[in-house]
Amino acid sequence: MIDLPEGGTVADFGDLDGDGGDWQGIAASGGRDETALNLSLDGWEGPLDLLLELARKQKVDLRQISILDLVDQYLEFIDGAEQLPLEIAADYLVMAAWLAYLKSAMLLPKDEQEDPSPEELALRLHLRLQRLGAMREAASRLMARDRVGRDVFLRGAPEGLRIDRSIAWQVDWYDLVRAYGQVKARNSPAFHTVRDRQVMTLESALDRVSGMLGMSLDWVELREFLPPGADARLRKSAMASSFVAALELARTGRAELAQDDIFGPLRLRRVRASA
Amino acid sequence: MSETESLDRAVEAALFASEDALTVDQLATHLGDVDKGELREALARLVAFYSERGIHLVERAKRWHFQTAPDCAHLLRKERESLRKLSRAATEVLAIIAYHEPVSRAEIESIRGVQTSGGTLDVLMEAGWVKPAGRREVPGRPVIYATTPEFLRHFGLESRRDLPGIDELRATGMLDPVDDAFEAEMAEAGSADSDGESDS
Amino acid sequence: MSETESLDRAVEAALFASEDALTVDQLATHLGDVDKGELREALARLVAFYSERGIHLVERAKRWHFQTAPDCAHLLRKERESLRKLSRAATEVLAIIAYHEPVSRAEIESIRGVQTSGGTLDVLMEAGWVKPAGRREVPGRPVIYATTPEFLRHFGLESRRDLPGIDELRATGMLDPVDDAFEAEMAEAGSADSDGESDS
């Protein structure tokens, strides 16, 4: 087993017994890394965590720890931890390698040092440890507060405040009457009447046009054949029928057609009997 | 802090946090075998202390608990009115009742041309606009419904005779062509019907 | 009974009876639109009135509730199931979220130097202490986390300003990212070098 003293100021963290769950005392089902680490490393959560605990062992302010000492302690610890399962060891070994490099770099004369300088690397490590340490401290102070359900308690059996909602239904006179109108309209028998629409049949147009042609020898505009005073719809129908009648009369040789320009007025004239 | 004060505080906290009313015995055990005589004195002091407050310490069937002062009880239940528009189905049923009262549910349905759920009538009765008005003396003796004085008040009517007649409705275009009404009906069916009326 | 007494009793009763802590707004509405200024005065009077009692009136995250006095804990604890204890990982993650919020999982991990299993955040969210608080508008749009009013209530904090030591941590740069701190240190070292002797 790895022999490490208990962490100093973090007594409130109880996860050193290796159960690995997020709630102490609840069977471990937690993260793969946590479970594995706890089994073999007594609860150290990764290399940074281990480094922080080692740093605390120097018993000085975190701001004054010796990085060189820390590197030595870490490497010594990893050396001693022989039976680490490989998959857990990986992170720790990467850190060990990096620290070994850092140490050798720090021992080099200044002008042989590479960029970034080992001092800068060490400073970064230092800053990270400080921040992790600060959060760990804060967490333990937070956990030590008077907590609801542990130190202070809420009312055991509150009566409860109730808001009973009653509904005030809204409808106005217009909605009411209109609704009735719609019911009546929907359900009263509906009578559909087809309006009597005035049309001029082709036969009557033929009669009318040929009759009217007989009365004149001159050209007459097609328009003149329409019944006077007819409403718009009848006029349309009469125009269509009269046009077809005109064509028919022309086809059978009883009338001549003339149109001076496209869409111009269409004119008819009776064909005089050659006989 | 005096010893009695400290005991009072402990009793107070224990009764406050307890989910059940506690007997003197339970309290005594709970607080670490306090003398029961002292405990009773503490309870008496607390009853007096809280007698004018919004919460009282009371004993019921030898068990002690805190409860809201009776005159503050109304604060715990608060009525809140929310306005809601009457659904189309309910409005139609209300209109039919108003024009045809008294009517049975079957008659309402035959006028509306669709089934009417019981919930719709309940809403109208809850609103206070419609009430049962006896039974029709026909087989099955169905309940018949009529409007209430509250209905007239709500719509500002002197009497039901003030409702516009069919001819007036037609004149104002309220008797829409069937297609329009049908379209509106379909639109309504699309939106969820809040009082559960199913128009089939 | 004077008017202030009557208001005090009403506030007392409502807060005693409520299952949840109440904001001043909620209280005002519930008590029938009481003036909020007067309400705050009543709350202040009640805080003072109960300060020496076994139960205290406290404000957490702008919500008010009664709870037992902390020094009565030993009397009440024994019958209670003691709180499940959080794992070290979960307490650290909680602290990091509380002191840095809002913070992404990657940021939490960079402080802890170890991956955070999803289960740890789940535990904190299930406890009701942590909630997702949107996404950080950086590539990948990671979810960011923050604490809840329930967190403040559980740990007896009026607001995040009451987090233990937060002012000092902020002043010493402990809540700044390592990169920022590093830049600052280097800048400082640079200026120190320039007015001191340079050794290379």
3-state secondary structure chain C: CCHHHHHHHHHHHHHHHCCCCEEHHHHHHHCCCCCHHHHHHHHHHHHHHHCCCCEEEEEECCEEEEEECHHHHHHHHCCCCCCCEECHHHHHHHHHHHHHCCEEHHHHHHHHCCCCCHHHHHHHHHCCCEEEEEECCCCCCCEEEEECHHHHHHCCCCCHHHCCCHHHHHHCCCCCCHHHHHHHHHHHHHHHHHHCCCCC
Percent of chain A, pLDDT > 70? Answer: 77
Asked whether residue A13 carries a pLDDT value surpassing 60, the answer given is no
Could you say which of C94, C154, C199 has the minimum Cβ distance to residue A148? Answer: C154
The angle that helices C36-50 and C3-17 make with each other, rounded to 10 degrees, is 70
Q: Which of A169, A175, A186 sits opposite B84 (nearest CB)?
A: A169
Over residues B90-111, the mean pLDDT reads 89
Task: Give the separation between CA A45 and CA C142, rounded to whole angstroms.
Answer: 24
Q: Are C120 and C93 in contact (CB under 8 A)?
A: yes
Whether C88 contacts chain A with CB within 8 A: yes
Q: Beta strand A162-170 with B77-85: parallel, antiparallel or unpaired?
A: parallel
Q: What is the pTM of this model?
A: 0.63
Whether the CB of B171 is below 8 Å from some CB of chain A: the reply is no
Tell whether the model's pLDDT for residue B185 goes beyond 90.
no
Q: Which of B53-62, B133-142, B189-198 has the lowest mean pLDDT?
A: B189-198
Q: What is the mean pLDDT of residues C45-65?
A: 95
Sheet holding B130-135, edge to edge: B103-104, B143-147, B130-135
Instruction: For the sheet with C143-147, list strands across it.
Output: C103-104, C143-147, C130-135
Give C160-199 pLDDT, tens digit per residue.
999 999 999 999 999 998 888 888 888 887 776 555 444 4
Mean pLDDT of B26-32: 88
Name the β-bridge partners of A255.
A270
pLDDT, averaged across chain C: 88
More confident residue, B157 or C65: C65
Q: What angle do CA A3, A45, A37 make, to 5 degrees?
A: 70
B200 or C110: which leads in pLDDT: C110
Indicate the residue of B77, B98, B174 with minimum beta-carbon distance to A181: B174
**Number of other CB atoms surrounding residue B107 within 10 Å:** 17
Interface probe, candidates B55, B169, B172, chain A, greatest A C-beta count within 10 A: B169
pLDDT of residue A212 exceeding 90: no
Instruction: Compute the distance between CA of residue C46 and CA of residue C40 in angstroms, rounded to an integer.
Output: 10
Element (H, E) at A27: none
Say which residue the tokens 């109208």 belong to. Answer: B124
For B26, other C-beta atoms within 10 Å of its C-beta total 16
pLDDT band at B199 (very low <50, low <70, confident <90, very high): very low
Percent of chain C with pLDDT over 70: 92
Q: Which among C56, C67, C165 is the nearest to A138, CB-wise?
A: C165
Range with the lowest mean pLDDT among A168-177, B92-101, C58-67? A168-177
Chain A residues within an 8 Å CB radius of C174: 130-131, 134
Q: What's the pLDDT at A199?
A: 83
Q: Do residue A132 and residue C112 have CB atoms under 8 angstroms apart? A: yes
Q: Note the pLDDT of residue A189.
A: 64
Best interface-test mutation with B: which of A151, A172, A173, A183 has the largest number of B CBs within 10 A? A183
Q: What are the φ/ψ torsions at residue C178 (nearest 5 degrees)?
A: -55, -40
Report the residue of B76, B77, B80, B82 to disrupt the C interface, i.e. the one with the largest count of C CBs within 10 Å: B76
Give the count of beta carbons closer than 10 Å to the beta carbon of residue A86.
Answer: 7
Cβ count within 10 A of residue B45: 16
Residue C45 in tokens: 């009077």
The H-or-E segment that residue A273 falls in is none
Cis link prior to B102 (omega < 30° from 0)? yes
Q: Is the per-residue pLDDT at B184 higher than 80?
A: no
Please tell me the predicted confidence (pLDDT) of residue A26. 35
Q: Which chains form contacts with chain B, at 3 or more CB pairs under 8 Å? A: A, C
Q: Tell me what pLDDT residue B189 has.
A: 53
Report how far apart, in Å, the C-alpha atoms of A167 and of each of A17, B76, B79, B126, B193 are: 59, 19, 10, 9, 16
pLDDT of residue C80: 55
Percent pLDDT > 90 in chain A is 8
A196 or C160, higher pLDDT: C160
pLDDT in tens, A90-144: 788 888 889 998 888 888 887 777 778 888 888 899 899 999 999 999 999 999 9
| Contact flag C120-A22 (C-beta cutoff 8 Å) | yes
Inform me whether the pLDDT recorded for B182 exceeds 60.
Answer: no
- More confident: B24 or B152: B24
State chain B's mean pLDDT as an integer.
Answer: 82
What are the chain B neighbours of A163 within 8 Å (beta carbons)? 77-80
Q: Rg (Cα) of chain B, in Å, rounded? A: 31
> What is the pLDDT, as a whole number, of residue A192?
63
Interface of C with A in 108-167 (CB under 8 A): 111-120, 123, 153-157, 163-166
Q: Quick check: B68 contacting A, CB < 8 Å?
A: yes
pLDDT for the residue B161: 78
Distance CA C157, CA A152 (A): 13
**pLDDT tier, A84 (very low <50, low <70, confident <90, very high otherwise):** low
In chain B, the percentage of residues whose pLDDT exceeds 70 is 84
First CA to last CA across chain B, in angstroms? 76
pLDDT at C17: 92
**Helix, strand or coil, per DSSP, at residue A2:** coil
